[in-house]
Amino acid sequence: MKSLFMRGMLFIESKLKMTCRDVYPYMSEMLDHEIPFIPRMRVKMHLALCHVCTFYQQQLAMIKKLSENIGLSQEDSREGPEFSDEKKLKIKEALKKEK
Amino acid sequence: MSQGVSAEDAEDWVDKYSTQMYRFALTRVKDQDIAEEVVQETFLAAWKSKSSFSGRSSEKSWLFGILKHKILDHFRQLKKRGEIEFGDPGEWETAENLFQSNGLWKTPPSSWGINPEQAAQNLQLLEALNKCVESLSDRFKSLFLLKEMDGLTADEICDQLDIKPANLWVMMHRIRNRLKTCLESNFEFSQGELSK
């Protein structure tokens, strides 16, 4: 018969343990903001043991990072229409009215 | 710099940055007239708030920061007019379809075999990701561009577009998941090249 201590430990483990399905909603959310301490620790425990979920989280993180890079590169885009002199003049005239 | 911004400086900004800003705005709002309007509003807002330009960032970063907020404002107006809806995250597969009843993945994700540094240098991968973003529905593409590519904060987006944070997290997850699936269909990770 299991001791009270063992039963207590098994109870805690069952409460902390998460399946891949349980962890799934947090893996994207953790890229956006810090989630509360207890679920954060539970997710970390799961990821430490589950390489499949670790791959998944790394892939989401890579998509996020690459998207940031694409966004920055679009600020220097060399392709696309020119902003015509006529349109520039229109803005300069509008600026003059603000002075 | 703030005391040093003259009328001539402001006109120089127009000459130096308007084309880049216009192209950028066009990729977001998809309409030449609106893009032009957004660029003009940006320069006017920049001139009015020139004293807030601290010089800690470049004038280009500062102008693009204003431009991104003007683009966000454009989507706020679209929402206000009922031309776009952000509130409902319900579209595409839910997690229930991805997992077995015991909580394990039905199709476990496998390694892409590429590290973040290699990925950032792989132009074909970036091209594939960009195409996947373009394939998203309008509302999800707008949300992804604002949040992920333009770096606006979740607070700003939720506040301006009247989205509950919990809904934003769900939508961002589904968008990323969609992009992951799309990338895996359009890029050969083992070969490091486009598959189509």
8 A C-beta contact, residue B127 and residue B183: no
Out of B7, B43, B173, closest to residue A91 by CB: B43
B92 touching chain A per CB within 8 A? no
3-state secondary structure of B105: strand
Find the domain containing A49 and state its range: 4-75
* ipTM of predicted assembly, 2 dp: 0.89
Distance in angstroms between the alpha carbons of the first and the last residue of chain A: 86
Place of tokens 């539970």: A42
Query: Residue A20 falls within a domain, yes or no?
Result: yes
Q: How many CB pairs under 8 A join A and B?
A: 153
Query: Residue A99 falls within a domain, yes or no?
Result: no
Interface contact flag, B116 A60, Cβ < 8 Å = no
Interface contact flag, A67 B144, Cβ < 8 Å = yes
pLDDT of residue B176: 95
Query: Residue A27 falls within a domain, yes or no?
Result: yes
8 A C-beta contact, residue A75 and residue B60: yes
Q: What are phi and psi of B88, to 5 degrees?
A: -105, 115
The model's pLDDT over A16-71, given as tens digits with 9 standing for 90+, comes to: 788 999 999 999 999 999 999 989 999 999 999 999 999 999 999 999 999 999 99
pLDDT of residue B1: 39
8 A C-beta contact, residue B43 and residue A95: yes
**Domains delineated in chain B:** 7-80 (1.10.1740.10), 95-194 (1.10.10.10)
Least confident of A55-59, A89-93, B19-23: A89-93
Query: Residue A81 falls within a domain, yes or no?
Result: no
B47 touching chain A per CB within 8 A? yes
Give the integer Cα–Cα distance in Å for B183 and B134: 12
Report the pLDDT averaged over residues B45-58. Answer: 80
Query: Residue A41 falls within a domain, yes or no?
Result: yes
Query: Which structure tokens are listed for B170?
Result: 């769900």
Per the structure, the count of domains in chain A is 1
Out of B20, B23, B129, closest to residue A63 by CB: B129
B108 touching chain A per CB within 8 A? yes
Query: Residue A44 falls within a domain, yes or no?
Result: yes
pLDDT of residue B8: 82
Closest-CA residue of A relative to B50 is: A99
Out of A60, A75, A94, closest to residue B180 by CB: A60
User: Is residue B35 scored above 80 in pLDDT?
Assistant: yes
User: Is residue B16 scored above 80 in pLDDT?
Assistant: yes
pLDDT of residue B84: 87
